[in-house]
Amino acid sequence: MITVAPSILSADFGYLTNILDDIAKVTDHCHLDIMDGHFVPNITIGPPVVKSLRKHSNLYFDCHLMIENPRKYLESFKEAGADLTTVHIEVGKTLELIDQMEDLQLSKGLALNPDTDFSHVVPYLEKVDLLLIMSVFPGFGGQTFMLEALDKLRLASKYREENNLSFRIEVDGGVNLLTAPGCIDAGADILVVGSAIFESEQPIGIISALKSLAIGIRH
């Protein structure tokens, strides 16, 4: 089953609680981009905002930690109401971070950037719940999908099948009605979609259209 995870990075932050209510009408996931101004050149939200949003929503909070020192903050995100935290292979100490997420009873995600070879995440795929393949360089919304990501999606899907693993495959960056079919065909299970949803006059319609598209491709 394909999941559409709206990325609120592209939403109007002045109306986040209303936006979460609308999202909940058509999907059960919400993707939260956490940026620290170090690992990526932008700054977004942190645990206090996640905690405030959790008071108003039962959505599954998929927290993508684009931060230099996730070890310092994982417990805070757990306490704030995160369901899944995804750390980047590029920050290092991957096994320690996976073990920490396990101890905190967080679902465990691992991400890799467009210029990081798939082989770098292979040693950890038996231990994670989700692999996030970036189809843009992280840091800003509204970027153009990088077609090279499709090769990594195929590699991840093949590796999962050949090794009888169960991690879900997520793709993030430039996903829209035009690029989603290729992602789904290549093996993506979760589509993170930001600008295509929140820059539309009918965001809920876009989510529904993506879900219908996925059903058509997978069946």
| Catalytic machinery residues | 33, 172
Residue 24, Cβ density class (10 Å: 0-12 exposed, 13-18 middle, ≥19 buried): middle
3-state helix, strand, coil in the chain (%, to 5): 40, 20, 35
In which element (H, E) is residue 34 found? strand 29-35
Q: What is the DSSP letter of 170?
A: E
DSSP of 176-204: STTTHHHHHHHT-SEEEESHHHHTSS-HH
Residue 119, Cβ density class (10 Å: 0-12 exposed, 13-18 middle, ≥19 buried): exposed
CA angle 67, 122, 135 (to 5 degrees): 55
- Give the distance from CA 119 to its chain's centroid: 20
